[in-house]
Structure 1
Amino acid sequence: MKRLFLVEPVVALYAFATFLYYPLVQQYAYRRIWLQVTNTTYLSSDNTSRCVANSNSSNQSHYNEEVQRQTSLFSVYTNILSTVPSLVVTLILVTYSDQGGRKIAIIMPMIGTLIYTLSLLTVSYFELSIYLLFGSSILSALCGGMGTFLGGCFAYIADLCEDDRQKTYRMAGLEMMIGLLSGLAALSSGYFLRTVGFNWPFLTSSLMLVLILLYAIFVLEETVKKAPTSAVTLDGSPWYLGMKQMLRGVCQMLAGASCRWKTVLALLIIIFTCVSFVYVGGMSVITLYELSEPLCWTEILIGYGSALTTTVFLTSFAGVSLFTYCGVPQLLIVLLGILSVVSAMLTAAFAKTTLLMFIVRIPMLLSIMPFPVLRSMMSKIVPKSEQGALFACLSFMESLSNNVSSIVFYSIYAATVSWCPAFVFLLSAGLCVIPLTALGMVSVIGVDVATEVQRPKRFNSEEENPVQDQSDHSPLLT
C-alpha cells in the first residue's frame, strides 16, 4: 500500500470523534447527578418549563445549585486524575518523536481516547457508576492526551515545511480543520442525544477512532528516519529514550543562544500558555453555565452553541491567512486574538438570555489566531532537528495550562455559582493582562531572533548550521 504524507485526515476525524462525545460528557454527568440529588427524572424537552419550575420552587432551585456544584467537582476530579500522567507522557513521547518517529506521538493518544470512549459507552449502556470514569481517565492519560496528539501533528507538519509562510498557513490550516470538524460534531451531538440517547454517540466516536488508527498505522508515512532496530537495547525503550532525548533536546535548544533570544523565546511561551489558560478556563464551564438558570438550555441549544464556538477555528484561520497575506506584523495578529478573548469573556459575563449567549460567539471569532502564529514564530527560530523538543515543551505547557485552568475554573465556579455564576468569565478577561504585558515586552525588545541564534559547536557541516544569510529568514517580529 502506498503511504501518504497527509496528517490532515487524522486531525480532522480525530477532532470529529472527540467533539462528538466531549459536549455530552458533562451533560451525562449532570443528568446522572441530577437523578441522585433530586431523585427525579431530568427534564430535557423544554428548557422554559424547567426554568419556570425552578423559579417557582426554592427547593428545586437549591437542587439545581447542588447539581451544578457536584458536576463541577466531578469535572475537577477527572481533570486532576488525568493531568499528571498526560503531561509526563506528552513530554516523553513528543520529544522521543525526534528520534523514534512522529507517528508514536500521534497513535498513542488515539488509543487512549479510544479506551475512554469505550469506557463511556460501557458506563452508559450498563448504567454503572459514573465514578468508574475516574479510572478510565487515568488509563487514557497514560497514553497521552490532546496535547500529545497535537504536538506530534505540528512537529510532523514542521518536518514537511521548509518555508516559514507555508508552515504558518499549514499550522493554521490544522487549527481550522479542528474547528470545522469539531463544530460539525458538536452540532450533531445535540440531535444525536435527543434522538437516540448517549450510547450511539459514544459508539460512533469509538468506531471513528478505530478507522483513523488504521489509517495512521498503515497509510500515514513517517517523516523521521528511525535508528536501526539492532541498535535498540534494553535501555532503549521509548520511555528511557524519550526522557534522555527530552533533556538533551531542551538543553541543545538553548545552548549557545544569546540572552535576548532566550528572553524572547520565554516570553513567547508565556504568552502562548497564558492565552491558552484563560481561553480554555473560561470556555470549560460554559456548558454548565448554559444548563443552569436563567438560560436552562436544552441539548439542542448546547449543540448549536458548541458548534458556533468551534467556528472560531475557521474564522481565526481566515484571519491569519488574510493578515499574513497583507503583511500585518505577527505580534499585531497575536494582539488582536487576545483582545478577541477579552471581549468574548466580558460579553459572556453579562449574557442572561439565549440571544445574548449566542451573540457571545461574535467577539470570539479571532480568539484562536495567537496559537498558530506563536507556534510558527517559535518553530522558525529552532533548528529542524529540535522541533520535537520544542513542540514537546509547547504541548506540555499547553496540556498543563488547559488541565490546570479547567481545575481552577471548575473549582471557582463551584464556589461562586450560588452568588455570581458569571464571575469565572470576568476572571478570565482580567487574567489576559498577563499575556498582553508579555506581548508588550516582546515588542519593546524588538529583536530579530532568527539572526541571533548561535550554535557553532553543535554542527559538523555547513549544511546543518542554522546560521545562514539573513535573506533566508523572514524577520520574526515584523
Structure 2
Amino acid sequence: MAWRQSYSLQALESEDTLPTVTSNKTTYSAETGSPGSRYVANGTTVPETQYPNTAFSKDVDNRSPDNTQDETVAEVKSSKHLVMRFLLLGFIMMSLIYSFTLAQLVTVQYMYAYIRKSLFPNVSFSTNESECQINTTSQLYRDQQTVQKLVAQLNIYGELAKGIPAICCIFFYGSLSDKYGRKTIILIPFIGNMIKCILTTIGTYLNWNIYIFIVFSFIDGCGGGWVLAMSIVMSIVADVTKPGKTRTFVIAMTELSLGFGLIIGGFTSGFIIKAEGFTIAMVVSACCSLLPVILLIFVQETLHKPKEKERKSVAQLAVDIYVFYFRDSALYGKRKVFVVCILIYFFIIQSAFGANGIEPLYVLNSPFCWSSVRVGIYITVRTGLPFVTGMLFFGPLQRCLDECVIAAIATLSNLAGFALEAFSYNTVMLFIVPVLSFARTMAVPVVRGVMSRLTPPGKQGCMFAGIAIVETFCSLFGSVAANAIYGRTVEVFRGAAFLVLSGYLFVAFILSLVLYKLTRRLKADRQAK
C-alpha cells in the first residue's frame, strides 16, 4: 500500500501559491534561531512546516542548474501523476453514478408499469403526448393519478429504507477513513451499490413483489450509498491539493464525474428499456456497479498511516465529527461561515434530491405521458446541460467574480428553472427549464471549497463526513417530502412540489449573500493581523 504523496498543481493556482525554485528572479534565505526555521522568498516569509514536502533548501542559491532542472522535471511528472489519479477517480465515480442513475430510472418506471398492470390490467395508458388524456373528469385520468400516488408512496418507503441507515453509517464510515485510509472505506459503498443492483436485477427478472425492492434499498443504505463514496473522494482531493482556488477547481472538476454519470445514465435508460426491457437495463446497471470495485485496485492510498498511539476508537472517531463542527477550536472565528455553508448546502441538495424523486413521475403523467425514451432524453438534458455549462463557465467566472457571488448566481438560475417547470404544460416549456438552470451545478463545489479551505489538513475527513451526513439526510428528507407533496397535490396542482423546491433555493440565495459578507470580513481580519 502506498502512503500519502505530495504533489503540486501550481499551474492551476491563482492565489496563495509559493514561488517555484526554478525562477532565476526568486531568492531564498533562512531565518535561524528556532527548530522550525522560516524561508524568505522575495520578501515573503513562509513557515517551513506549512509545506513540509516542498523542495526548499537553505542552500538554494548554491544549487547547480542541473539539480534545479531535475527537480523541475520531477515536479512536472508528479503533476501528471496527480492528473492521472483524478482521471481514474473520476471514471470510478462516473461508473458508480451511472449504475445508480440507471437503476433508479429503471426502478421507477418498472414500479409504474407493475402497479398499473396490477390495478388496471385492462386499461391502456397512452405514452404519446398527442393522445394523452387531459380530461380531468374522465375515469382514465383518475386511474392514472391513482398510479402516480402509489408510486410516489413507494418512493417514500424506498428513500426511508435507504436514508435512515445511511445517516447512521456515515457517522462511522466517514471518520473511519481518517483511521484506516480512504481506499479501504470507499469499498463499502461500492459493494453496497453492487449488491443492490444485482438483487434488483434478479427481482425484475423473476417478477418479485415490488415491495421487496425496499429491502434492496436498505442494503444500499447500510453501505452509505454514493454520497459516502463522494465524500471520501473529496477527502482524497483535500489530501493531495493545497487550500485555495486550486482545491475548489479540482473539486468542481471532480463533481463533473457525477454529471457525466447522470447524463449517460439518463440518456441510455430509455433506449435500453424500449429495446430490451427492464431486466436487461438492470443487467447493464449491475455490470457497471462491478467496475468501481475492480478499478479501486489501481487507486493509491493518500492518507498517512497513523501511529499506534494516535489511533482512536470507532466511537471516538464518530464523536470527532460532532466535536469538529460544534466545539473544535480549529473553527474559532470561522464557525459562522461553516454554519452558513452547511445551510446553503442543505437547501441546494434538498431541492436536487426532491426533483430527482418526482421528475420521472411528472413527465409520465398528463399532459405529457412520455415514453421511456423521451423520459431518458429529458433527464439527460435536464441534468447534463447545467453540468456542461458549469464546466465551461466555472473557471472564467472564478477569475473575475468572488466564489460566493458564483454560488448566488447558481441558486438564482436553479430557482428560475424549477419555477418554470412547475407551470410547464408542453414539451417546449420543459426543455427551456435546463436552459434557465444553466448555472445550477456551480454552487456545490463553491461551498465544498470554502469549507475545505478553512479546515486543517488533519480534519478533512471529519469535515467531508459531516457534509456527507447532510447530503444523506437531504436524500432522505428531500425525496420523501417532495414525493409526499407531489402525491397530495398532483390532482389539484401537479407543479406545487416544484414551487416548494424553488422556495428552498430562495433561502439558499439569501444565505449566499450572507456568506459573501462573512468571507469578506474573515479575509479582512486575516489581512489586518
Calculate the TM-score normalised by the size of structure 2. Answer: 0.79
- 1:127 matched to 2:207? The reply is yes
Q: Provide the residue aligned with 1:313 in structure 2.
A: 387
User: Of the candidates 63, 78, 84, which is equivalent to residue 164 of structure 2?
Assistant: 84
- 1:144 matched to 2:230? The reply is no
Spell out, residue by residue over 1:163-218, the C-alpha distance to the aligned partner (whole angstroms, 9 max, x if none): 522211211112222212320221111110000001112111211221220111x2
Higher mean C-alpha displacement, 175-184 vs 354-363: 175-184
- 1:275 matched to 2:348? The reply is yes
Return the alpha-carbon distance in structure 2 between the equivalents of residues 251 and 74 of structure 1: 37
State the shift of 1:102 in Å: 1.0
Listed as ranges, the matches of 1:105-116 within 5 Å are 105-116=185-196
- 1:158 matched to 2:238? The reply is yes
Return the alpha-carbon distance in structure 2 between the equivalents of residues 258 and 211 of structure 1: 39
Q: Provide the residue aligned with 1:435 in structure 2.
A: 508
Cα distance change on mapping 1:259 and 1:156 into 2, 3 Å:
closer
Q: Provide the residue aligned with 2:304 in structure 1.
A: 225
Return the alpha-carbon distance in structure 1 between the equivalents of residues 516 and 366 of structure 2: 43
Q: Provide the residue aligned with 1:245 in structure 2.
A: 317
Contact 1:258 1:452 in 2 (8 A): no
Cα distance change on mapping 1:258 and 1:148 into 2, 3 Å:
closer
User: Of the candidates 397, 402, 419, which is equivalent to residue 323 of structure 1?
Assistant: 397
Higher mean C-alpha displacement, 282-291 vs 296-305: 282-291
Percent identical among aligned pairs is 20
Spell out, residue by residue over 1:260-313, the C-alpha distance to the aligned partner (whole angstroms, 9 max, x if none): 411111111111111111232134211111000001111111010111022122
User: Which gives a bigger RCO, structure 1 or 2 (Cα 8 Å, sep 6+)?
Assistant: 1
Cα distance change on mapping 1:328 and 1:58 into 2, 3 Å:
same
User: Of the candidates 201, 207, 214, which is equivalent to residue 281 of structure 2?
Assistant: 201
Spell out, residue by residue over 1:310-338, the C-alpha distance to the aligned partner (whole angstroms, 9 max, x if none): 212222222221211x2310110000010
Cα distance change on mapping 1:27 and 1:135 into 2, 3 Å:
same
Return the alpha-carbon distance in structure 2 between the equivalents of residues 207 and 91 of structure 1: 29
State the shift of 1:364 in Å: 1.2
RMSD over aligned Cα atoms: 2.6
Return the alpha-carbon distance in structure 1 between the equivalents of residues 525 and 467 of structure 2: 22
State the shift of 1:452 in Å: 6.9
Cα distance change on mapping 1:63 and 1:306 into 2, 3 Å:
same
Contact 1:72 1:413 in 2 (8 A): yes
Return the alpha-carbon distance in structure 2 between the equivalents of residues 162 and 104 of structure 1: 24
Q: Which amino acid aligns with 1:130?
A: I
* The structure with more radius of gyration: 2
State the shift of 1:439 in Å: 2.4
- 1:364 matched to 2:446? The reply is no
Q: Provide the residue aligned with 1:466 in structure 2.
A: none
Return the alpha-carbon distance in structure 2 between the equivalents of residues 27 and 335 of structure 1: 35
Spell out, residue by residue over 1:82-124, the C-alpha distance to the aligned partner (whole angstroms, 9 max, x if none): 1110011122111111111112342111111111111211111
Secondary structure at 2:477's aligned position in 1?
helix
Q: Provide the residue aligned with 1:37 in structure 2.
A: 119
Return the alpha-carbon distance in structure 2 between the equivalents of residues 44 and 219 of structure 1: 48
State the shift of 1:41 in Å: 6.5
- 1:402 matched to 2:484? The reply is no
Return the alpha-carbon distance in structure 2 between the equivalents of residues 289 and 340 of structure 1: 21
Q: Which amino acid aligns with 2:301?
A: E
Q: Provide the residue aligned with 2:52 in structure 1.
A: none
Q: Which amino acid aligns with 1:23?
A: L
Q: Which amino acid aligns with 1:13?
A: S
Spell out, residue by residue over 1:134-154, the C-alpha distance to the aligned partner (whole angstroms, 9 max, x if none): 111112211111211111111
Contact 2:355 2:498 in 1 (8 A): yes
State the shift of 1:449 in Å: 4.0
State the shift of 1:406 in Å: 0.4
Return the alpha-carbon distance in structure 1 between the equivalents of residues 443 and 118 of structure 2: 42
Return the alpha-carbon distance in structure 2 between the equivalents of residues 111 and 372 of structure 1: 26
Return the alpha-carbon distance in structure 2 between the equivalents of residues 147 and 174 of structure 1: 14
Contact 1:190 1:303 in 2 (8 A): yes
State the shift of 1:44 in Å: 6.5
State the shift of 1:448 in Å: 5.1
Q: Provide the residue aligned with 2:10 in structure 1.
A: none
State the shift of 1:13 in Å: 1.5
Higher mean C-alpha displacement, 400-409 vs 177-186: 177-186
Secondary structure at 2:435's aligned position in 1?
coil
Calculate the TM-score normalised by the size of structure 1. Answer: 0.87
Q: Provide the residue aligned with 1:335 in structure 2.
A: 408
Q: In structure 2, list runs of 5 or more residues that go unmatched.
A: 3-80
User: Of the candidates 98, 106, 111, which is equivalent to residue 24 of structure 1?
Assistant: 106
Return the alpha-carbon distance in structure 2 between the equivalents of residues 173 and 318 of structure 1: 10
Higher mean C-alpha displacement, 107-116 vs 250-259: 250-259
Contact 1:78 1:134 in 2 (8 A): yes
Secondary structure at 2:366's aligned position in 1?
coil
Return the alpha-carbon distance in structure 2 between the equivalents of residues 83 and 132 of structure 1: 16
State the shift of 1:421 in Å: 0.6
Spell out, residue by residue over 1:66-86, the C-alpha distance to the aligned partner (whole angstroms, 9 max, x if none): 000000000001111111100
Return the alpha-carbon distance in structure 2 between the equivalents of residues 318 and 90 of structure 1: 33
State the shift of 1:250 in Å: 4.2
Cα distance change on mapping 1:258 and 1:170 into 2, 3 Å:
closer
Return the alpha-carbon distance in structure 1 between the equivalents of residues 315 and 417 of structure 2: 40
Q: Provide the residue aligned with 1:383 in structure 2.
A: 456
State the shift of 1:259 in Å: 5.8
Q: Provide the residue aligned with 2:90 in structure 1.
A: 8
State the shift of 1:20 in Å: 2.1
Return the alpha-carbon distance in structure 2 between the equivalents of residues 441 and 166 of structure 1: 24
- 1:300 matched to 2:379? The reply is no
User: Of the candidates 466, 471, 477, which is equivalent to residue 393 of structure 1?
Assistant: 466
Cα distance change on mapping 1:207 and 1:44 into 2, 3 Å:
farther
Cα distance change on mapping 1:452 and 1:252 into 2, 3 Å:
farther
Q: Provide the residue aligned with 2:51 in structure 1.
A: none
Cα distance change on mapping 1:43 and 1:244 into 2, 3 Å:
same
Cα distance change on mapping 1:85 and 1:56 into 2, 3 Å:
closer
Q: In structure 1, list runs of 5 or more residues that go unmatched.
A: 454-469, 474-478
Q: Tell me the number of residue pairs that the alignment of Structure 1 and Structure 2 aligns.
A: 445
Q: Which amino acid aligns with 1:241?
A: S
Return the alpha-carbon distance in structure 1 between the equivalents of residues 272 and 112 of structure 2: 17
